[in-house]
């Protein structure tokens, strides 16, 4: 049974008007959610279960002022796509940002409109694609100053890359094999519980907007705007939670001392 509530979802993401089953309709829905619901992992740090059923996703991401990480954000987006009538399914990817990849621990969506396929991803934190891109090999896609491309990369299948100051940066690799609920459940469990998961030992948040984005990694807040960026360190007290609210719209519903202390830079090898 479809328990998705379209009115509540569209209000949460500030979507203008009706949903059209077109490329522009997909783009509009993608940007609306990306600019409204933040990426964040604070429930993982608070040892709260990360639940992916439609009701739990709606309760956390739509009804409350919270966000989530890829399995939650792209899970909600996939529910929305399917409810509104898009042909869409989940894919799983290996993240390559830090050079050594892990398992398939990132969820995104493959959307088919007519004879074209599109990648949609509203859950990759600070490196989020600004809008869906065509699934076409070696075709550069540009939006809001961001440049992405998909290339062949053995033995991984295909690789999504972003153009940086140092050249093309590998983001994540994926293939088009079937992804079932058990695959997603396993990836989510590892990401939210395993001590080697970056989400278990780091505080992270990100929210894109029309002119840039705001990101948080542990204590470092970075605000990117059209004319540049600024960086500041958040204090280790209640003001940290105030910043979550003001910059990301996150109401954590927890006292600051409930967050586990962070590993120092000396201890974690940075």
Among candidate residues 30, 43, 70, 170, the one labeled active-site is 70
For residue 135, the number of C-alpha atoms closer than 13 Å in the C-beta half-sphere is 20
70 catalytic residue (yes or no): yes
**Phi, psi (deg, nearest 5) at residue 265:** -60, -35
Choice among 15, 96, 121, 170 that is catalytic: 121
Residue 62 φ then ψ, to 5°: -105, -50
Place of tokens 């992270």: 204
Tell me the C-alpha distance between 163 and 170, whole Å. 9
Q: Two tokens at 246? A: 């003001």
Give the Å distances, CA to CA, from 115 to 84, 120, 221.
Answer: 19, 16, 42
Query: How many residues are there in the chain?
Result: 270
CB atoms within 10 A of CB 198: 16
Is 106 catalytic? The answer is yes
Look up residue 108 and give its two tokens.
Answer: 């995104």
Is 121 in the active site? yes
Coil, strand, or helix at residue 216? Answer: strand
Q: Which of 15, 96, 106, 170 is catalytic?
A: 106
Report the C-alpha gap between 46 and 183 in whole angstroms: 24
Q: How far is CA 184 from CA 21, 28, 55, 223, in A?
A: 26, 26, 17, 32
Indicate which residues carry an active-site annotation.
70, 106, 121
């Amino acid at each position: 049974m479809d328990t998705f509530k379209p009115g509540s979802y569209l209000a949460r993401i500030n979507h203008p008007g009706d949903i059209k089953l077109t490329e522009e309709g997909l783009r509009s829905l993608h940007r609306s959610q990306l600019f409204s619901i933040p990426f964040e992992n604070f429930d993982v740090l608070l040892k709260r279960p990360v639940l992916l059923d439609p009701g739990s996703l709606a309760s956390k991401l739509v009804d409350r002022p919270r966000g989530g990480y890829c399995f939650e954000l792209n899970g909600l987006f996939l529910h929305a796509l399917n409810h509104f009538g898009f042909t869409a399914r989940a894919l799983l990817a290996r993240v390559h940002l830090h050079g050594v990849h892990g398992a398939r621990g990132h969820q995104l969506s493959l959307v088919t409109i007519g004879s074209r396929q599109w990648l949609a991803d509203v859950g990759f934190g600070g490196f989020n694609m600004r809008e869906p891109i065509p699934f076409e090999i070696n075709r550069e896609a540009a939006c809001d100053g961001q440049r992405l491309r998909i290339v062949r990369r053995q033995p991984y299948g295909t690789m999504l890359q972003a153009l940086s100051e140092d050249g093309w940066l590998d983001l994540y690799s994926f293939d088009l094999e079937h992804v079932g609920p058990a695959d997603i459940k396993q990836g989510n469990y590892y990401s939210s519980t395993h001590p080697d998961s970056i989400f278990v030992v780091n505080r992270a948040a990100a929210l894109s907007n029309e002119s840039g984005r705001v990101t948080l990694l542990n204590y470092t807040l970075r605000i990117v705007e059209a004319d540049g960026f600024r960086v500041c360190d958040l204090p280790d007290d209640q003001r940290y939670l105030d910043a979550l609210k003001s910059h990301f719209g996150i109401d954590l519903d927890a006292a600051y001392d409930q967050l586990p202390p962070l590993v120092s830079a000396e201890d974690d090898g940075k």
